[in-house]
Structure 1
Amino acid sequence: MIKASLFLLVALGILGVLGGFRLRKRKTRRLAAGSCPRCGRPRIGKGPCGCGAPIGKG
């Protein structure tokens, strides 16, 4: 019984670490796609950012 519970805990730990890596990759990809080049805030819509950065990409 102890071996089974230890195996389960180790497996859950490994899945948690791998899941954390997947979430980090997704988060950085999402922010890079629609973020302001000057301040890094997410951009919503087509208008300029509140910091005054131009509308163009990059």
Structure 2
Amino acid sequence: MEISVLTVLAFSTFALLMVVSGGIVYLTAIEWRDRRRQDREKRENKPSRRRSTKV
């Protein structure tokens, strides 16, 4: 069975497309997780504002 150059190029192009797409999904998920962590830390470190009650 003979494998043509175009077939090899097509399969390698598809494989590279999958690798790049997977990398983009990975980086997006990491950025989303990091942003959530930073927002949570900001809320925890934010001083609470209590209303003073005057008697």
For the aligned pair, the TM-score class normalised by the smaller chain equals 0.5 to 0.7
Instruction: Give the count of matched residue pairs.
Output: 38
Give the TM-score, by structure 1 length: 0.56
Which structure exhibits the higher relative contact order, with contacts defined as CA atoms closer than 8 Å and separated by 6 or more residues?
Answer: 1
- The two structures, once aligned, show a CA RMSD in angstroms of 1.3
Where do 5+ consecutive residues of structure 2 fail to align? Answer: 1-11, 50-55
Give 4+ residue runs of structure 1 displaced > 3 Å after superposition: none
- The offset of 1:22, in angstroms, is 0.2
| Inter-partner Cα distance in structure 1 for 2:14 and 2:40 | 40
Where do 5+ consecutive residues of structure 1 fail to align? Answer: 37-56
Larger radius of gyration: 2
Q: Does 1:28 align with 2:39?
A: yes
Percent pairwise identity:
16
